[in-house]
Structure 1
Amino acid sequence: MSKKFTPTPHDAIFKQFLSEKKTAKDFFEIWLPDEIKSLCDLDSLKVKSGSFVDTEMKNYQSDILYSVNTKQGQGYIYLLIEHQSTPDKLMAWRLMRYSMAAMQKHLEAGHKELPLIFPILFYCGEKSPYPYSTDWLDCFSGRDIAEKIYTKPFKLVDVTTLDDGEIMQRVD
């Protein structure tokens, strides 16, 4: 009998370890900020598929994705954990991408509102401390303008509120 080679055995152990509800609940009790923890009914933890396929049909996958009910009744919060043993300068973007993919999957399941996704990076690499920012806006070369673009309402050009004369005046 040959042994199956796992290129990242620590990743497999991590997934197995945190796939157990009691272990995951203990992990979140310790590591979730109080503000987020106060929203979560951790007894309702469920492991979800963290596999996503983008529009080019490329498969990408978060390590572990959980859903929890909110303490306020109906609603969902997802807790996403990514295990990483090597630093990645764009890790914050990757976690944002996984978060957006989980939101899309939630909408495709028939829900009408976006869920909250709380990403956590579980880092166990040799380089200490983790050398890169965990703020996805720091992944941009122009962080200041990125912050203005991606944390504010988008620009709306609503021509339905203009009469034809106003539209013609604006086109020169």
Structure 2
Amino acid sequence: MPEKFDIHQPDDRFFKSAMSDPEVVKAYLQHFYPKIAAIAYLSSLKLENSVSLRPSLKRFEADVIYRCRFQGEADGRFYFCLLFEHKSKPDKYVAVQVGLYIMELLSSMVKKQGRELEPVLPLIFYNGKEKWMPQTLSELFQEHPHFIALEPYIPNFRFLFQDATRLSPAALLELVGVLLLERTQPNFVLIEAR
């Protein structure tokens, strides 16, 4: 009898697999975030270990983390990190999750002697059915009755957010090209049906 395979979160596994290829990440950044690609020395992209330990000793894993040098900077202090997180359904508290990953990355940099703090850019890729725009930490507290007084003390950051379900058919084909064709043989040809 054939063995049953439990494919848990296939979108997430596909995303992690595709984004584990630096060439795919390079093409993705060039296509969707050209301003980031312009300041990055993309040939220096290096996949980092995304598994870490929280203080409670429970394991957590960010989807994909890269370290990259800035364009024109040979000094090792001029790096930044790209933190990719995939979501297939809206997550009200994604800012808390991503914020934890950012703080863990920064904390690990502090612990490494001689390593300067590096900016961490959080990128969220979404392909769920519902319309969604992730809220920042500040936005999560906007309805609090003392928000005005507390706002300066709420840690806050924005996301580089890509909603694949809202892309035009042409942009979706380009995304497929970025995620798939970069990983295949260069002789692949896409023929449009008429």
TM range (shorter): 0.7 to 0.9
Given candidates 80, 83, 87, the residue that maps to 2:83 is 80
Q: Which residue of 1 aligns with 2:17?
A: 16
Deviations, residues 114-139 of structure 1 (Å, cap 9, x unaligned): 110000110000102x1442x22222
Q: Which residue of 2 aligns with 1:161?
A: none
Count the aligned residue pairs. 149
Q: Which residue of 1 aligns with 2:153?
A: 149
Higher relative contact order (CA 8 A, sep 6+): 2
TM-score by length of 2: 0.69
In 2: Cα distance, 1:43 partner to 1:14 partner: 21
Distance 1:131-1:112 versus aligned 2 partners, 3 A rule = closer
The letter of the residue matching 1:44 is: S
Distance 1:55-1:148 versus aligned 2 partners, 3 A rule = same
Q: CA deviation at 1:97?
A: 1.3
Q: CA deviation at 1:110?
A: 2.4
Contact 2:53 2:59 in 1 (8 A): yes
The letter of the residue matching 1:7 is: H
TM-score by length of 1: 0.77
In 2: Cα distance, 1:146 partner to 1:54 partner: 27
Distance 1:148-1:9 versus aligned 2 partners, 3 A rule = same
Given candidates 86, 98, 102, the residue that maps to 2:101 is 98
Identity of aligned residues (%): 24
Gaps spanning 5+ residues in structure 2: where?
A: 156-194
In 2: Cα distance, 1:146 partner to 1:61 partner: 31
In 1: Cα distance, 2:101 partner to 2:149 partner: 23
In 2: Cα distance, 1:94 partner to 1:145 partner: 25
Q: CA deviation at 1:102?
A: 1.1
Q: CA deviation at 1:146?
A: 4.2
Q: Which residue of 1 aligns with 2:116?
A: 113
Runs in 1 of length 4+ with deviation above 6 angstroms? Answer: none
The letter of the residue matching 1:149 is: Y
